[in-house]
Structure formats: C-alpha cells, structure tokens
Structure 1
Amino acid sequence: MTEAAPAPGGYDESEMYQVLERGCAAVGLDSRDARLLRGHTNAVVLLKREQVVVKIARRGSRIDDVARTVAFVRWLMDAGFPTVPLHPVDQPVVVDGHAVTFWLYLPQPERPVEAAQLAKPLYALHTLHSPRLAFPGHDNIRAIRRSLSAITSLTADTVQFLSKEADRLEGELEDVEFALAEGLIQGDPQHRNALHTADGGAVLCDWDTIARGQPEWDLVTVEVHCRRFGFGRAHYQAFADTYGWDVTCWPGYRTVAAIRELRMITTNARKVHHAPASLAEVQKRVEGLRKRDGLLQWSIL
C-alpha cells in the first residue's frame, strides 16, 4: 500500500483536506476548490471562490499561541496597521487539535515584495505601543538548541559542528551591545512574509513569530535574505535607507547575522523529515558554513 504524501505541518495530505473541510464548514465556507499555496511548516490554502486563505497550524502548535496571534492581528486592524486582514469569522477553529485561521485573499503579482516596501511597516511595528498581550521573548539561541535536539537528517558529526557553532555564537552574543530600543518584532520579516496591496503598497503577514525583542533581529533577517537569496546589496540598501538605520554598520552585526543564519540552517534541517527534497539545500548551507562562505547563494525552502 502506498503511503499518502506528506503535507505541510507533519500530517498526510488526506488528513490536511479533512481538517480543511471541517474547519471551513464550521464558519460557512466552501472548500471544494481548495488549492495548496505554501507549506513546509503550516498548510496555507486558497479558497478561490471564497477569496479566502486558510491557514492550518502545524501539528503540535499551541492553540493559545494561535488565539493570541488572532487577537493581535485584530488589534492591528483596529489600529489601521498595514497587516493582511483576518476574514470576519470567529476564529481560530480547532479541528482534531489543529488551529485553523481564515484570512482575506490578496491576489499577488509574480514579483515578490521588495525589501524597501518592508521598511515602513517594520519601523511602525518596532515603535508601536503594544497591546496587553503576553508575547514571548525572542530567543534565537534557544530556537537553535531546540532544532538541534530534533534533527534526524544530518550526521552526528554535522550536528556536533552546528552545536559548537551555537556555543561560540552564544558566547559572542553576551558581549553584543544592542543599539535600538526593545519592542515588538515580527521575528521573520522577509519578502514572502509580506504581500502586495492593490494600491501599490505592502502589508505584513505571517505573525506566528511575533515576540518582544530587539529590532536588530528583524533588520538582520531582511539583510540575510537579500544577501543569501540573490536580491543583492542595492536591494538591501534601499531597505536600510527607507528604514533609516543600517544594521550592517552596527558593531554587533556579524554576530547577530551569524546567529540568524544558523537558525535558518537548523530550522530547515529539523523539517527535512517532512520535506525530504530539502536535504540537499540544507547540506549545501552547512558546507558553506564550514567554509565561512558569507556570500554563498541559498535556494528558498
């Protein structure tokens, strides 16, 4: 008997569509023309007829965390913040332990959002008077350790190498003096976590990683994506100029960028079990790290 193909979130495709159908039925949406848009972690599904995007949280996600995200986005919408809007139904809907959320569909052109378009929304977030919600503290080192403990796709020697990198960078981080005021950060700002709007602007989306922390972590994430995924220095510089501060000129940049890249490597290594085709890319990134190749081009996973 052939096993069902794995779907985003660590469940099989059949289960994903069952959860989708039941979640949509609970809020009166028709899921018959559903199309998977994006995955590797959560399932993001378009209901074209309804003009709604459905997000099914990965297995093991805390329902309370998803509920907090929904409450936060509602608060952002009320404040007029540039975020992708929630579909107006009571949510999240919980189906067999999976939190299902519903969002307004914004049709997108082929080109991704430019880094410079992220700058003003990010600056607004970083300087926002936050609502009274219990946001977690941003901790890349803890996230790296968590991923390292769950990696099964790499050799023991490779995992040990990555662990030693985490040790080294954790030590360096103790000496980093952050320059900006702590506040709310998106946690993973990048071209694919923002959407074009019909008026030519952009809104932030994918708020799963919202946290309290240093804005430098967000800014260096944008820089890493520009450098590693082929957007180029000028593309990043336009972002820095629009934001009003260039993280690459800050003394803590190299340490913080290295930690961010190590997190991107270890997170994707942990997910290989659910996305076997990503192993070659993870191995390429590890080899680049061994060679200290800061300009090696990565492929998006």
Structure 2
Amino acid sequence: MTQAAPAPGGFDESEMQQILEQGCMAVGLDCSDAFLLRGHTNAVILLGSEQTVVKIARRGSRIDDVRRTVVFVRWLMNLGFPTVPLHPVDQPVVVGQHALTFWRYLPQPDQPVAAVQLAKPLYALHTLTALPVTLVEHDNLSAIRRSFAAITCLSQEDLSYMNECAEQLESDLRNVEFELSRGVIQGDPQHRNALHAIGGGAVLCDWDTVATGQPEWDLVTVEIHCRRFGHGERHYKAFADAYGWDVTRWSGYQTLAAIRELRMITTNARKVRHAPSTLQEVKRRVHGLRTRDKSMRWHIL
C-alpha cells in the first residue's frame, strides 16, 4: 500500500494491509492500488481502480457503534440527505475484531468546503425526526476525561491544569441556558468533515460522532475551526448568516467554546503515541490554553 502518513488507527502497516485485503475480498473489491488518504483517527483508504473509500475503524472501536452508523447513513441516503453515500455492499465487514465500511469516492478540488456550505446540511440535520436508531448522548466532558486517562505525552503539571479547567467548565455548564431545540448533531462539523458534491454543493461525511444533543455544540465547533485554523471571521459570519443563528452572540458561547477546545486538545494529546510528529503542536495548544490565548492559530493535525 502506498502511504501518505504513518500507519494509522493503532495498526502497524502489515496488520492494516491484512485487514484491508480480507475486507475487500469479502465484498469483491480490488485493493491492489490502495492509497492511505487519512490516518490520524481511522484508516481511510482509497481503492483507486474501484473509486471506493474504505474506512477501517480505529483499534478498539465497538463494532455495534459502526453498525449503528451504517443504519443511520442508509436512512439519510433514503431521505435524500446530503451525505457521502455508502458503497452498495452489505456492511460493515468485520475482520477479527475490526469493522470496515465502504464509501463512494468523491474526487475533490484543492480548496476545502467553505463554512457557509455547511450551514444548510447542518440545519437539516439538526431538525431531523423519527430516527431509525437510538443515538448516543453527546458528552464532551466525558470524552475529555477518557482522554486524560490515556494521555502519556504531557507533564503532570499540564494534566493537572487541564483537569482543573474541566472541573470548572463542568460547573459553568450547569448554568448554561440553551436556546435551540435538542436534536441530531454531527458532533465534529468542520471543513474536513464535508466534501464537495458532484454537481455542486457539499455533503457531510465522517459520522462517527453523530449523537443526540444541543445544536449549539455543532455551531461552536464550526466557529472554532474558522477562528483557530485561519479561515477568518468573514468565513464564519457567512456560515452564521446562512444558518440563521450566531452562536457567538449567545450567553453560553464562552463556556461551550472552552469545553470544545479542551476536547480538541486532549483528543489530539491522546493520539500522540500513534502520531509522534504531532507532539509539538499539541504542546503549543496546551501553552495557548494556559496563557488564555483565544486567537492563537492552530495547525491542522
């Protein structure tokens, strides 16, 4: 396999290759020209001749969670919702304890999806009803604490500081009054979790974090990505205008933004052992957290 990054998802290259070959054989797809597209979380692999993308769920992922995601995305497809479509095979395919899913490949231009293109799909997602499955409850603070238990790359001083932040933010969250109606949320909406659709527009992808919760979490995530990754205020304002609600004008914004940024830092810190080259950026973000630098430019990991 041609690789664009270190072996991802907790797998070494030979193990990942074996899982890929067995999974593709089960559905009759050729993986002889496989190319690793992304690997920071799951292994996301392009089968060039098949024009199909294979996602091998990160080591330790629950197979039932992947099955639920497949049922949910098939339901979205039947609704005509703007999602990357599943490849028409019976899935997920389970190899050992690892789940594989197969998706239609959508060739992409150089420029990523603009934030404004996320607005209509997210609004449509947030207002869905009569779901085919019971989704998990969105809980950033629990995710942060799970990451704390797995982080090995940071000092005890840094970990203690971040734990104190989490404790204070949990207290602050109890006083937040949400304005929007609960519903389905994507969990991590951003420029790289959407793709340009064939014929125009954008489709959402990467449904691993889909959950039930407050839409404000999705909206603050978009704002953070615009601010932290150099897209700029105008980029975010265009999104807010198109969605019809600006999370930065809401009283709970500061608390939710702080929680979401802490989760982004701790999640990447947890993954450093599988991607050692990201350590410097993780430490930069921790320093920015400790100096309360809300405008520090982050680098994509």
Shorter-chain TM band: over 0.9
Deviation of 1:169 after TM superposition, in Å, equals 0.6
Pair 1:136-2:136 in alignment = yes
Deviation of 1:11 after TM superposition, in Å, equals 1.0
C-alpha separation in 1, matches of 2:95 and 2:63:
11
Runs of 4+ in 1 over 6 A off after TM superposition: none
C-alpha separation in 2, matches of 1:244 and 1:45:
36
Aligned residues: 297
> 1:206 maps to which residue?
206
> 1:233 maps to which residue?
233
Deviation of 1:186 after TM superposition, in Å, equals 0.2
Which deviates more, 99-108 or 7-16? 7-16
- Calculate the TM-score normalised by the size of structure 2: 0.98
Pair 1:111-2:111 in alignment = yes
Deviations 1:249-280 (A, max 9, x none): 00000000000000000000000010000000
Deviation of 1:6 after TM superposition, in Å, equals 5.2
Instruction: Specify the SS of the correspondent of 1:149.
Output: helix
Pair 1:243-2:243 in alignment = yes
Q: Kindly report which structure 2 residues correspond to 1:6-21, keeping only aligned pairs within 5 A, or say none.
A: 7-21=7-21
Pair 1:270-2:270 in alignment = yes
- Calculate the TM-score normalised by the size of structure 1: 0.98
| Structure 1 gaps, min length 5 | none
> 2:90 maps to which residue?
90
Q: Kindly report which structure 2 residues correspond to 1:135-214, keeping only aligned pairs within 5 A, or say none.
A: 135-214=135-214
8 Å contact kept, 2:21–2:31? yes
C-alpha separation in 1, matches of 2:97 and 2:149:
24
Deviations 1:46-76 (A, max 9, x none): 0110010000001100000000000000000
Deviation of 1:220 after TM superposition, in Å, equals 0.2
Instruction: Specify the SS of the correspondent of 1:36.
Output: strand
C-alpha separation in 1, matches of 2:18 and 2:101:
15
8 Å contact kept, 1:130–1:184? no
8 Å contact kept, 1:185–1:212? yes
Deviation of 1:7 after TM superposition, in Å, equals 1.4
C-alpha separation in 2, matches of 1:297 and 1:266:
17
Deviation of 1:132 after TM superposition, in Å, equals 3.2
Aligned-pair RMSD on alpha carbons? 0.8
8 Å contact kept, 2:42–2:56? yes
> 2:50 maps to which residue?
50
Residues 78 and 230 of structure 1: is their aligned pair in 2 closer, same or farther, counting only changes over 3 Å?
Answer: same
Deviations 1:188-229 (A, max 9, x none): 000000000121210000000000000000000000000000
8 Å contact kept, 1:46–1:52? yes
| Structure 2 gaps, min length 5 | none
Instruction: Specify the SS of the correspondent of 2:192.
Output: helix
C-alpha separation in 1, matches of 2:25 and 2:86:
17
Structure 1: which amino acid aligns with 2:107? P
Pair 1:222-2:222 in alignment = yes
